[in-house]
Amino acid sequence: MILDGKCPTGPIQDSWDKHRFDMKLVNPANKRKYKILVVGTGLAGGAAAASLGELGYNVEAFCYQDSARRAHSIAAQGGINAAKNYPNDGDSIYRLFYDTIKGGDFRAREADVWRLAQVSNNIIDQCVAQGVPFARDYAGYLDTRSFGGAQVSRTFYARGQTGQQLLLGAYQALMRQIKVGTVKLHARREMLDLVVVDGVAKGITVRNLVSGEIESHWGDAVILATGGYMNVFYLSTNAMGCSVTATWKAAKKGAFFANPCYTQIHPTCIPQTGDHQSKLTLMSESLRNDGRCWVPKKKEDCEKKAADIPEDDRDYYLERKYPSFGNLAPRDIASRAAKEQCDDERGVGPGKRGVYLDFQSSIDRVGENTIAERYGNLFQMYEKITDENAYKQPMRIYPAPHYAMGGLWIDYNCMSNLPGLFVLGEANFSVHGANRLGASALMQGLADGYFVIPNTIAHYLVGVAPGAVKADHPEFKKSVDEVQGQVDTLLSINGTKTVSEFHRELGKIMWENVGMARSEESLNFALKKIPELREEFWQNVKVTGSKAEVNSQIENAGRVADFLEFSALLTKDALTREESCGGHFRVEHQTADGEAMRDDENFTYVAAWEFKGNDKEPELHKEPLKFDNIKLAVRSYK
Torsion angle (degrees, nearest 10) of CA 115, 117, 123, 124: -160
- As a whole number of angstroms, the distance between CA 423 and CA 411 comes to 10
DSSP 282: B
- As a whole number of angstroms, the distance between CA 630 and CA 10 comes to 15
**C-alpha closest to that of 414 among 388, 451, 372, 386:** 451
Beta sheet of 144-145, edge-to-edge order: 80-81, 155-156, 144-145
**C-alpha closest to that of 452 among 11, 2, 19:** 19
End-to-end Cα, the chain, rounded Å: 39
**What phi and psi values does residue 397 have, to the nearest 5 degrees?**
-130, 160
* Cα dist from 589 to 151, 249, 581, whole Å: 28, 33, 9
- As a whole number of angstroms, the distance between CA 317 and CA 268 comes to 15
Q: How far is CA 356 from the centre of its chain?
A: 26
Helix (H, G, I), strand (E, B) or coil at 240: coil
Report helix angle 110-130 to 162-180, nearest 10. 80
Q: Are 284 and 78 spatial neighbours (Cβ–Cβ below 8 Å)?
A: yes
**C-alpha closest to that of 253 among 207, 193, 192, 203:** 193
Q: Is 182 exposed, middle or buried (0-12, 13-18, 19+ CB in 10 A)?
A: buried
**C-alpha closest to that of 154 among 117, 203, 109:** 117
Question: For residue 115, which amino acid is it?
Answer: R
- Report the relative pairing of strands 214-218 and 200-208 from DSSP bridges: antiparallel
* Cα dist from 546 to 119, 215, 491, 540, 602, whole Å: 48, 17, 7, 18, 51
- As a whole number of angstroms, the distance between CA 449 and CA 223 comes to 10
- Report the relative pairing of strands 183-187 and 200-208 from DSSP bridges: unpaired
**Sequence-distant (≥ 6) Cβ neighbours of residue 138 within 8 angstroms:** none
- As a whole number of angstroms, the distance between CA 107 and CA 600 comes to 10
**Sequence-distant (≥ 6) Cβ neighbours of residue 149 within 8 angstroms:** 99, 102, 103, 325, 328, 329, 330, 331, 437, 438, 637
**Sequence-distant (≥ 6) Cβ neighbours of residue 16 within 8 angstroms:** 8, 114, 115, 118, 119
Q: Which of 159, 288, 331, 586 is catalytic?
A: 331
- Sign of CA pseudo-dihedral 141, 326, 109, 11: positive
Question: For residue 318, which amino acid is it?
Answer: L
Question: For residue 403, which amino acid is it?
Answer: Y
- As a whole number of angstroms, the distance between CA 354 and CA 517 comes to 17
Q: Is 109 designated active site?
A: no
- Which residues belong to the active site? 331
